[in-house]
Structure 1
Amino acid sequence: MSDVTGYMPQPSQPRLSLPVGACDCHTHVFGPQSTFPYADNALFRPQDAPKEVLFALHEHLGIDRCVIVQSGCHGFDNSAMLDAMKARPGQYLGVALAPVDISEASLAGLAEQRVRGIRFNFMPHLDAAASPEEIVAFSRRLEKYGMHLQVHLHHTLIKSIGETLQQAATPVVIDHMGRIDASQGRDQAAFNALMTLMENERFLVKVSGCDRASALGSPYTDAVPFAQKLVKHFPDRVLWGTDWPHPNLKGGPPDDGILVDILEGIAPDPLHRKALLVDNPARFYDF
């Protein structure tokens, strides 16, 4: 466990103008710890990244809507996320962390507050809250609330866990392109497994995390082609997010202005870019 360096306080001004209604489908809020303390068993303890800084970032980047994803440092206490959502009603929705044995009343309460899904982690640095089989069973409870599964998994697990998740009763969102490693080349087994998984219309994928996938660093030219291919082949089932404030990222935080500008490479067709940023989030999250 260690303190984690946070976001870049003054990101560059993007050259790219985003379409009206653009959505950042993957951000977090951390703390402030004086109000929303971290879980006692938190595996990482980032610096505060409160809602006010997130709102200012989105104004700077030209982003109108957002999906806040609950972070493991707060455990199953979704209070910081819900507080940020309430400050921007209708514009900011959420994806929570919850155990598969969450009470029906608590699950209904999250849905009523416009939490749109529940996230599960399968990454070495994070605790796995349930097995893939348990998650599939849990999806049947989510279905009646119109909620979805979101999974954050290591690239070596795309094929094995993906096969199980095809039995889910709800849509399944794959985070950060399945955490592929761009250094392994464009014909790597993990990305091929992701492309195969996406043939199932139950799945969506976030073409976020180029900064995490890249071996070359900014502007992530080795990682952008993977995102571009997903957008080209599955234009109606791709989502995008900054992943601000970029937790657990070695080498320091990226420039969020650059993350916006590489959208020209990720989605060079303006119609695909509008679908990625506006139409798909509006439809899927029901803004």
Structure 2
Amino acid sequence: MVAGACDCHTHVFGPRADYPMVDARHYTPGPAPLAALRAHLAGLGLERVVLVQPSVYGTDNRCLLDALAALDGAGRSIAVLEDGVDAAALRELHARGMRGVRINLESAGLRDIAGTRALLQAWSARVADLGWHVQLYAAQPVVLALAEDLARLPSPVVLDHFALADALPGADALTDLLRTGRVHVKLSAPYRLASPSLADAWARHLTDAAPGALLWASDWPHTARDPGRAAHEVSAYRVVPADALREQIARWLPGVELRRRVLADNPARLYGF
């Protein structure tokens, strides 16, 4: 693996007694402690990691921040924040390694274009001076409907999980967005697309079209909701072996220079490593 390689999308889940989950959650994960995350990173030869606030914790970022502190400079994080958070609190979060705020529509199946536009504009304006970005988890139709807005925001934007791009006919619009230099996309979680095989086609297209706008991520520990399982019942994680992730990296990022750019250089610039 290249020096400084980073996994740009992971989660940690601590003991329920210490880190309670919100009642209005859509799934319930089991434990995924920092020790297990460290083993995941070591198994892939990765030196850096980005922790993303999962929906089950709402705006309580304590689990994420505690893990971030223990990573001692090797981690950065993306928060979900309350509307009323003030500038002083944002500066404190920056000092602790926060580098972005997440807008998560997909976990709740939301498609509100006007509401999302307002959220993007409000949060982007608030975090731009910190050098943060806005991370958007939304379905492809939402992303494409907001394309012009995304390119004009004062902060950069990161689109989760291939922008959930299930249709290759949207390739030109997504490529145009990435070429603005304002929007990035994570090559991650192929199981969240309608067909995981689409990920290979998207990876080939995007690495040719806009390698400077790409990030790679594992989506560890691969959360899921078991079919028929109630939201408050624990669902198992998807099983994604380290060998499969290594093969994925080799397939999506052929060549040392491309791997260095996507795994190390792009994350270092965006997250401030």
TM range (shorter): 0.7 to 0.9
TM-score (norm 2): 0.88
Q: Is 1:158–1:193's contact at 8 Å kept on the other side of the alignment?
A: no
* Superposed structure 1 runs of 4+ greater than 6 Å apart: none
Deviation of 1:40 after TM superposition, in Å, equals: 2.7
TM-score of the superposed pair, with normalisation by structure 1? 0.84
Give the 3 Å change call, closer, same or farther, for CA 128–34 of structure 1 in structure 2.
Answer: farther
Residue identity opposite 2:27 in structure 1: F
Separation of aligned partners in 2, 1:271 and 1:163:
31
CA RMSD of aligned residues (A): 2.1
Quick check: 2:43–2:242 contact (8 Å CA) kept in 1? Answer: no
SS at match of 1:26: strand
| Alpha-carbon displacement from aligned partner over 1:24-66 (angstroms, at most 9, x marks no partner) | 0000111221211112322221111111111111111211100
Residues 161-240 of structure 1: pairs in structure 2 closer than 5 A? 161-181=146-166, 184=167, 187-189=168-170, 191-213=171-193, 215=195, 220-240=196-216
The residue number in structure 2 matching 1:157 is 142
What is the one-letter code of the residue matched to 1:80?
C
Q: Structure 1's 255 and 180: CA in aligned 2 closer, same or farther, altered over 3 A?
A: farther
Aligned-pair CA distance for 1:221: 4.2
Q: Which runs of 5+ in 1 are unaligned?
A: 1-17
1:223 is paired with a residue of what secondary structure? helix
Q: 1:266 aligns with which of 245, 252, 261?
A: 252
In the alignment, is residue 243 of structure 1 matched against residue 228 of structure 2? no
| Number of aligned residue pairs | 261
Q: In structure 2, do the counterparts of structure 1 residues 174 and 222 end up closer, same or farther at CA, with 3 Å as the change threshold?
A: closer
Q: Deviations over 1:74-126 (max 9, x none)?
A: 00001111111111111011011113432222222211211000010121636
Unpaired runs of at least 5, structure 2: 228-237
Distance in 2 between residues matched to 1:196 and 1:126, nearest whole Å: 26
Give the secondary structure class of the aligned counterpart of 1:166: helix
8 Å CA contact 2:185, 2:215 repeated in 1: yes
- 1:145 equivalent in structure 2: 130
1:276 corresponds, among 246, 262, 266, to 262
How far did residue 134 of structure 1 move?
2.9
- Higher helix proportion (structure 1 or 2): 2
Determine the C-alpha separation between the residues in 2 that align with 1:127 and 1:99: 18
Q: Deviations over 1:134-169 (max 9, x none)?
A: 321321220111111110111121211222222211
